[in-house]
């Protein structure tokens, strides 16, 4: 597949000098490349579109700060990469379900691994009785009744241990105290 070329150096120089027509042509000519790069880095098509738009706005506003006219592509790629990473961090912080079937980029995979490592360490640090309940209920997805029966506990005791385990993990991860993980604690099926 032939790669589209970036706008020429003369256009970049004219845009750096403030020529409005050159700036408009530069933004328009850069859009396909910026968009393609954002799609390869961002978690979702929506994030990619937003990151590409943000990068083009920065290009429009700050073209005069570009030091070398030949560095346009690397400057724009850096802006897009930073915007995609910012969005991935925001998504992780907000605990939004990531990627809805789209493969994460390398940067997103690293962020996910770091977060997964933190969660695994927090679960491993739990007392054994709490860890067993948490793993069976929240990770393996067993019903509250099944977990209580398997561990020889009353449903109330299972719920209490699960609540303490979740609270301890949230505390270790620094999450807000009233954030609740997926799954209920009522011991009912589902």
Give the tens place of pLDDT for each residue, 101-118: 566 677 777 776 677 777
pTM of the entire predicted model: 0.46
Res 21 pLDDT > 60: yes
d(C-alpha 108, C-alpha 72), whole Å: 25
Give the tens place of pLDDT for each residue, 165-182: 989 988 888 754 344 444
Q: Is 177 exposed, middle or buried (0-12, 13-18, 19+ CB in 10 A)?
A: exposed
d(C-alpha 98, C-alpha 111), whole Å: 11
């Amino acid at each position: 597949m032939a790669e589209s070329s970036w706008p020429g150096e003369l256009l970049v120089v004219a845009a750096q000098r403030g020529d409005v027509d050159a700036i408009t042509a530069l933004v328009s000519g850069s859009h396909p490349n910026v968009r393609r790069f954002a799609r390869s880095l961002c978690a979702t098509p929506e994030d990619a579109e937003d990151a590409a738009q943000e990068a083009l706005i920065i290009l429009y506003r700050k073209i005069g700060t570009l030091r070398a006219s030949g560095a346009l592509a690397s400057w724009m790629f850096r802006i897009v990469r930073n915007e995609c990473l910012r969005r991935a961090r925001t998504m992780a912080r907000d605990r939004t379900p990531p990627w809805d079937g789209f493969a994460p980029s390398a940067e997103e995979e690293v962020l996910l691994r770091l977060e997964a490592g933190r969660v695994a360490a927090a679960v491993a640090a739990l007392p054994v009785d709490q860890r067993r309940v948490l793993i069976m209920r929240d990770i393996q997805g067993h019903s509250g009744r099944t977990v209580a029966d398997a561990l020889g506990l009353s449903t109330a005791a299972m719920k209490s241990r699960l609540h303490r385990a979740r609270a301890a993990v949230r505390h270790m991860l620094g999450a807000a105290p009233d954030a609740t993980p997926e799954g209920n604690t009522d011991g009912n099926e589902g």
